[in-house]
Structure 1
Amino acid sequence: MTDLAPHIEATRADFCVVACADAWRGDGEVLASPMGLIPSIGARLARYTFSPDLLLTDGEAMLVALDGTVEGWLPYRRHLTMVTGGRRHVMMGASQIDRYGNQNISCIGTWNRPARQLLGVRGAPVNTLNNPVSYWIPRHSRRVFVEKVDMVSGVGYDNAAAAGDSATRFHRIPRVVSDLGVFDFETPDRSMRLVSVHPGVTVEQVRESTGFPLVTGDDVPFTREPSTAELRLIREVIDPAGARDREVRG
C-alpha cells in the first residue's frame, strides 16, 4: 500500500539518533546501556522498531518497558554477570578517541601533571574488555579525534590485541557516531573507517576535523535516512520536547 502521509524533513539530530539506534541492530536480547541524550533516544527507538528484545534499565536496579513499567529486577550482581559475559552493549562518550578506538575520559595532558582533570577512568576498561562498546561524539573535532589519546580509559583494538586473548574475547567496538558521520573499525589493521556522512556533510569536512588519516572508500554514502514511522516515534513519543536538536545543530 502506498504511504500517502506527508514527507517529514529529518534534522541532523534525527540522523544521529537513527545512526545510534542502528548500533544495537541485530544484538538480540542484550542489555542496552546508552550514556547521554542522543544514545538514549536511539536505544528506545531501536527497542520500538527493529530490536524488540533489547533490555532497558532505569539506571538503578530495574528492567523497564518503553512505557516505564517494571519488567524485571536487575540487581548489581546480575548486572555484572551480564557485563562480564558480553551480554551488554554500551554506548559511551569520549573526550578523546584515536584511530584504533582507544577512548579517554580521564585527563588531558600527562597523567602526572594533567592540564585538565576529567571524569576519571570510571568503568571504561571493564566495559570495553567485557562487552561491545560504541561511542557517541556530539562535537566532531581534532581535539576529540586525536592521533593518540593522552590516557587510555576505554581499550582500543591495538591495546586489546597487545594484551592477548583474555582481552580480545569479548572486545568489540561496533561503531562510532558523531555529529558529522558514522565510523567503524572493519579494516585489516582495525583502524577507524568512515562508513557514512550525514546529509550536508562532506568527506573532506570529516577529514579536516579528524586528527589522523581516516580509511574511506571511493564513494562514501550518506547516513541512512529515518523512515516516516521512525521520525514520528522520535518526535511524538520519545522526544516530543526536541531536546535532541539542542545537542546537535544541523
Structure 2
Amino acid sequence: MAEIVTLDELAKIVPHGIRLGIGGVHLSRLPIALIRRILAFGKKDFVFTSWGGGLPLELFLEANAVRKLIFCFSSLDIFGLAPRFREALENNRIEIEEWTALAMAQALHAAHFNLPEMPFQIPVGSDLMKTGTFWQQSSSVFSGEPLGQARRLDIDVLLLHAQRADSAGNVEIQGARGFDLSLLGAAEKVLVTVEEIVDPGILEAPRAFILPKQFVTAVARVPWGAYPTSCLPYYSTDYQQLLRYVESEQSRRSSKTHGVTSSQPEQQKTGVRGVPDAPRRAFLSTCASTRTSALTPALVSRHKSSSSGSPWTIDELMAVRLSREYDNSSICSVGSVSPLAMVSYLLAKKTHAPELTIIALNGGFIDIDFHPMSLTLAEPLEFGSAKVCWGGDETYHWYYQQGRITHEVITVAQVDVHGRTNNAWIKSKGKLLRLPGQGGMADVSNLHQNFVLYLTRHSPERFIDAVDFCTASRGLLTDEERTGAGLQPGKVRLISDLGMFELDPEQKRFRLLSIHPGVSLDKTKAQTGGDFLIAEPLPQTEAPSEGDLRLIREEVDPFGIRQLEFVPGRDRLAMIQRILTAEAGLMRELQASQANAELAKSTI
C-alpha cells in the first residue's frame, strides 16, 4: 500500500542530486506545488529529465537546482521562449543531453522492461543523431536493416500530479498523459500529489488510467497542486497568472541588463502563486467544466475580437490554403505551439472535411470535435469531446511509428531551400541564440505521410540556403524509400507569407508552386537566402472567400489566436492580454447565465 503523507513529508523524500522525472504535459497537470516545496527545502544538483522542460524547468533553473538536463524541447508554450532555459544553455551553465522524442520513449521503456536498450526508427536526415550520445546504430538480426538503439534511461524519482487517489494509494490520471506512462515504468519511486483522496472502489472516471498502488511510493492530497497549470475536470490553466509570470521574467531580464536589482521577494518576482482566491477558483472551475455546446454563436459573437467585413489578412490566407491540404481521410496531429495549424484543421473540419481526425495536446486527445479556438477553454473543450485520452508515447507507438498520421503542420525558426530545418541554435548579431529544440520533429518529418512547414515571416534569415545544424528533415524522401520503410508516400511542403513551395524529390530543392496575391516573384527571391525552383506557369494563390473569412472570424478563431504567430515578439504579451480579456468577458456572461438558470430552477 502506498503511504498517504503531507506535502512536506512528500517533498522530504526527494534527496539531492538524483535523476528526477517530471510528469504532466505542457500546461496541464504539472506538479507545481510539489516542485515549489522541494525547492523551498533547498534541494539541488538534479538531473532533470522531461520531454518538455517548460515551466517546471524554469522553476528549477531559477533555484539553480539543475546539474544536467535531459530533454527534447522547452518553451513557455504560447508565451514564447523559456528565458532561464535559454540563459542556462547559452552560457553553458548546465550539462545537456538533447534527445529525439521516440528515442526517449524507447529508453524509458528499456528501463521499464529492465533491458539495456530498446530499438527505434532512426530519424534519417537529422544532425541530432550525429551529436547525441543517447543512441548507437545497429542492424536487425533478421532483416539487416539499420536500427537505432536507445540506451536505457532510469528515473530515481518521478514527480506527478493527478486528479484522484484512493486511500489505498491507487492513482487515477485523467486527460492527456504526456510521457507519464513511460516515466512511471522507468521510475524507482513515484511521488504523487492529487486533488482528492477517495474511498476504494470510487476511481472510475471515463477514459482514465488507474496506476496500481504497488507502483506508487507516496501520495499527498494537495488541492490546486498543479496551479497555475490545469487539472481537469477541477480547474483550467490560469493563463492570466502565467502572463504575469512571463511579464515578471521580462522585467527581471530588463533589470539585469540595466544593472538594476529588484527588492521584491523571489516568489513575488516570479509570480508563481500557490492557490488563487475564491473568485478566481470559481472562474477556473467554470472554465474546466465548459463544453462546446455552451458556446452558442450569439454568445461568442458578443465577445469576438475579429472584425467582419474587412479585407483578408495573410494569416487568413495561409490558414485557408493549409486547410485545402486535408480531406475526410486525413489524420492531423497538433504539435507544440501551432495556432495557425490548428485553425487550418478546424476550418477543414467545419467545411469540406467533417470526418477529419484531429489529435490534440501532443497526442493526448484523440479525435476531438470542432470547437472555437481559445486559450483558456481549448483544453476543457478537447477534454470533453476526445474519444480517447492517451499519452504522447502511446500516440507515437499507435499512430506515428505505423505511419498513420497524414499531416502535422509545424513552424520552425529556420528552413533551407533543401527542406532542412533548424530549431536548436541560430546565429544573430554575432551571438549564438538557443531555440526550444525539435521536440518530435526529427521523428515525424519521416514518419508522417506529409511533412508540412510554415513560416509566418519569410526572410533571408529564416528561409536560407543551408542551415548550420539540421534538427529535422525528410531523409526518406522518394516513394521507393518510404514504402521500403513501411511508410506512406507523401510530400514536403512549405507555406510562407509570400508563397507556397514543394520539395522536389529528385533535385532536393524547394519549388515555388504559387505566389500570394500582391507579392512579386522578385520580392520572393529577395526575401529568400538561397535559390529555389519555380513552377511554370506560376499561378497566384487563391484568396480566401467571404465564406472562409466569416467562418474563421466568427466560428473557428473568434479571438484571433492565430495572429499571435504573426506579431513581433514585443507585441505578443499585449495581444495575449487582449485575448484573455475577451475570453474572460465571455466566461463571466456564461457564469451569470448559469447562475440565473440555477436560481430559476430553485424557485420552481
Aligned with 1:28 (options 301, 321, 329): 329
For the pair 1:150 / 2:468, whether they are aligned, the reply is yes
Q: Which residue in the other structure is 1:66 paired with?
A: 370
CA contact (8 A) 1:12 1:199 kept: no
Q: Give, in angstroms, the shift of residue 231 of structure 1.
A: 1.5
For the pair 1:120 / 2:120, whether they are aligned, the reply is no
Aligned with 1:200 (options 518, 530, 537): 518
Distance in 2 between residues matched to 1:216 and 1:56, nearest whole Å:
33
Distance in 1 between residues matched to 2:509 and 2:490, nearest whole Å:
13
Q: Give, in angstroms, the shift of residue 92 of structure 1.
A: 1.0
RCO (CA 8 Å, sep 6+): is it higher in 1 or 2?
Answer: 1
Distance 1:172-1:119 versus aligned 2 partners, 3 A rule: farther
Answer with 27-36 or 189-198: which moved more. 27-36
Distance in 2 between residues matched to 1:189 and 1:174, nearest whole Å:
13
Identity of aligned residues (%): 23
Partner SS for 2:533:
coil
For the pair 1:43 / 2:360, whether they are aligned, the reply is no
CA contact (8 A) 1:101 1:173 kept: no
The alignment yields a C-alpha RMSD, in angstroms, of 2.7
Distance in 1 between residues matched to 2:352 and 2:477, nearest whole Å:
32
Distance in 1 between residues matched to 2:477 and 2:498, nearest whole Å:
29
For the pair 1:134 / 2:452, whether they are aligned, the reply is yes
Distance in 2 between residues matched to 1:171 and 1:147, nearest whole Å:
26
Distance in 2 between residues matched to 1:184 and 1:27, nearest whole Å:
22
Q: Which amino acid aligns with 2:338?
A: G
Map of 1:50-199 to 2, 5 A cutoff?
A: 50-59=352-361, 61-63=364-366, 64-67=368-371, 68=381, 69-76=384-391, 77-80=393-396, 81-88=398-405, 89-108=407-426, 115-131=432-448, 132-156=450-474, 159-160=475-476, 169-170=487-488, 172-186=490-504, 188-199=506-517
Q: Give, in angstroms, the shift of residue 188 of structure 1.
A: 3.7
Distance in 2 between residues matched to 1:72 and 1:161, nearest whole Å:
33
CA contact (8 A) 2:328 2:354 kept: no
Aligned with 1:214 (options 527, 532, 535): 532
For the pair 1:10 / 2:312, whether they are aligned, the reply is yes
CA contact (8 A) 2:453 2:493 kept: yes
Q: How many equivalent pairs are there? A: 236
For the pair 1:231 / 2:549, whether they are aligned, the reply is yes
Q: Which amino acid aligns with 2:329?
A: G
| Between structures 1 and 2, the one with greater helix share | 2
Q: Which residue in the other structure is 1:3 paired with?
A: none
Distance 1:13-1:118 versus aligned 2 partners, 3 A rule: same
Task: Please list the CA deviations of residues 4-41 of structure 1 after superposition, one character each: whole Å capped at 9, or x if unmatched.
Answer: xx987322221111122123x23714133254222211
Distance in 1 between residues matched to 2:563 and 2:424, nearest whole Å:
28
Distance in 2 between residues matched to 1:174 and 1:16, nearest whole Å:
16
Distance in 2 between residues matched to 1:229 and 1:219, nearest whole Å:
28
Structure with greater Cα Rg: 2
Q: Give, in angstroms, the shift of residue 79 of structure 1.
A: 1.0
Structure 2's unaligned 5+ residue stretches are 1-307, 372-380, 568-604
Q: Give, in angstroms, the shift of residue 173 of structure 1.
A: 4.0
Distance 1:92-1:168 versus aligned 2 partners, 3 A rule: farther
Partner SS for 1:134:
strand
Answer with 164-173 or 184-193: which moved more. 164-173
Distance in 1 between residues matched to 2:334 and 2:528, nearest whole Å:
27
Aligned with 2:321 (options 19, 36, 60): 19
Q: Give, in angstroms, the shift of residue 216 of structure 1.
A: 0.8
Q: Which amino acid aligns with 1:141?
A: S
Distance 1:128-1:91 versus aligned 2 partners, 3 A rule: same
CA contact (8 A) 1:197 1:223 kept: yes
CA contact (8 A) 1:101 1:155 kept: yes
Q: Give, in angstroms, the shift of residue 135 of structure 1.
A: 0.6
Calculate the TM-score normalised by the size of structure 2: 0.36
CA contact (8 A) 1:97 1:103 kept: yes
Distance in 2 between residues matched to 1:106 and 1:248, nearest whole Å:
21
Q: Give, in angstroms, the shift of residue 247 of structure 1.
A: 4.1
Task: Please list the CA deviations of residues 183-218 of structure 1 after superposition, one character each: whole Å capped at 9, or x if unmatched.
Answer: 112464231011111111111111111111111134
Partner SS for 2:534:
coil
Q: Which residue in the other structure is 1:242 paired with?
A: 560
Distance in 2 between residues matched to 1:27 and 1:204, nearest whole Å:
37
